[in-house]
Amino acid sequence: MVARGLEVNAVNRLLALAMIALVLSMAPQISAAQLNEDIARTNFQAVIDDLNNNSFKSFRAAIDKNALLGRVVGAYMIEPEVRDQLSGMFDEWLQELFIESFPPSKGEIIGTVVAYEGYGDSARALVRYEASGYRFAYHVYEMTVASNGRIGIVDWTDYYHGGLFSEVAAESFVRTLPTQQATQQLLENKNVDEGRLFQVSELLKAVRDNAHPRFFSIYDAMDEELRNERVIVRLNLQMTSTWNDRARRGRAVESVVANFPDDPLFSQPLIEFDISMSLFERAITELGTLQNGLGVVDGATESLKATAAMALGEMERAQEYALSATQAEPDLELTWWSLLRVRTAAGDYAGATEAMTQLEDRFGYLLIPQKLRRDRFLKALIEQQEYKDWRAARDEA
C-alpha cells in the first residue's frame, strides 16, 4: 500500500510538473499575443490621431487596398470601364467618399476610439466622429492584424450613411453608369420588370447629378413596392436631408420607420430628425437601437438621451441617463456638462456642484458666475447657496 501510495504521488508530481511546464511554455506566447494586440491598438489610435490632425496619410496607408477594392468591385456589377479606373484612382475616391460620410460641420470633426477588440489576426474598432452641434457619426472598422502588429483596414460599417463603406462606394460607382444589370443587383426583388428598372436607373442618375426635382419626380411616379426597396428608401432619406421640404422629409422618415423598424443602420438620421421635430421619446428609442447595433453604450448617446428626457420634463430619467453617460466615459467632457445641466434643471444644486468639480479638475474650466451667467441653463445656479459655498471653498483651496 505504501509502495502504491508512493507510486501515485510520483505520478501526481509528474503531472503537476508537466502542467507547470505547459503553463510556462504558454506564458511567452500569451505575452507575445498581448504585446501584438497592444501594438495594433496603438497603431490604430495613431491613424485616428492623424485624421484629427487633418492628415489622411496614415489612414490611407492603413487601408488593405486589395481587400477593400475586392469588396467594392464584388459588391455589384460595376461596368468594366468604371472598374478599370477604380484601382488607378483609389486614393482620390477613397478620401472623397470618406469625407462625405460625415455630417456637415462648422468646425473640425474629431474622432474618438470608443472601443477596440482584438481577435489575434483580426480586430474590430468603434470610432465616434463628432461634428458641430452635437452631431455624431459612428464607424465600426474591420481590420487584419499582422504578427508585427501592423493593421490593415478591410472595410467599415458607416452608421451615418447606413451601410458598409464598400457597398456605399460600389453603389456610387454604379450610379456613374447604371446599366440594367447593375441596377437590378441593387434591388432585393430581382424580378423587377424593365420599365421599373429604367425608373430606378434614372433615379440613380438624378442622385449622381444631385438633381433633387428630377429625383422627386421619378420617386413619386414609382409604385409603393419599388419605393419600399431598401436602396430607394435610403436614397430618398439622403436626398430629402439636403432639400428644403419638411413635409417630404417627414414622409421619408416615416417610410424608414414603417419598412425598417429597429434597424440601427437607419438610426442616426432618424435621431437627428426626431430631435429637430421635438419627438424626444422616439429619439430616445432610436438612440437605444443605435447602441444595440454598435454593441456599446457610450457617453455621447447617453448624454443625448439625457437631453431628450429633460426636454420631456422627465428629470429622474434624465438624471439616470446623464449619470450613466459619466460612468460610460468619464473622460468625455460632454457627459459632465449634461449631468450639470440636468441636475441644475432638476433643482439638485449639490449634485450640480459635483459635476462642476469634475469640469474644473478634469478639463480646466473656471466656473465663476460670469461664465454661468452666459448659459441660460446654468445661470440659475449663481444665486443658489450650494453654488456659493462650493465656489468659496474652491477659491480658498
**What mean pLDDT, rounded, does the chain reach?**
91
**pTM to 2 decimal places:** 0.87
According to the model, what pLDDT value does residue 76 have?
Answer: 72
**Does residue 149 belong to any structural domain of this protein?**
yes
Residues 151 and 185 in one domain: no
- The tens digit of pLDDT for each residue in 324-356 reads 999 999 999 999 999 999 999 999 999 999 999
Residues 199 and 152 in one domain: no
Number of domains in the chain: 2
Residues 147 and 43 in one domain: yes
Q: Which residues pair with 144 in a beta bridge?
A: 122, 152
Residues 133 and 55 in one domain: yes
Residues 143 and 193 in one domain: no
**Does residue 365 belong to any structural domain of this protein?**
no
Residues 249 and 198 in one domain: yes
Q: Which residues contact 295 (CB under 8 A, 6 or more apart)?
A: 115, 126
**Does residue 326 belong to any structural domain of this protein?**
no
**Does residue 285 belong to any structural domain of this protein?**
no
Q: Which residues of the chain have pLDDT under 50?
A: 1-11, 13-14, 16-17, 19-24, 26-27
- The tens digit of pLDDT for each residue in 98-128 reads 998 898 899 999 999 999 999 999 999 999 9
Q: What domain range is 148 assigned to?
A: 29-62+102-160
According to the model, what pLDDT value does residue 50 have?
Answer: 97
Residues 108 and 217 in one domain: no
According to the model, what pLDDT value does residue 31 have?
Answer: 66
State the CATH number of the domain containing residue 37. Answer: 3.10.450
Last residue of a domain, one of 236, 260, 284: 260
According to the model, what pLDDT value does residue 87 have?
Answer: 78
Residues 34 and 119 in one domain: yes
Last residue of a domain, one of 260, 279, 296: 260
DSSP for 31-94 reads HHHHHHHHHHHHHHHHHHHHHHTT--HHHHHHB-HHHHHHHHHHHTT--HHHHHHHHHTHHHHH
Q: Cell numbers of 22, please?
A: 505547459
According to the model, what pLDDT value does residue 391 have?
Answer: 97
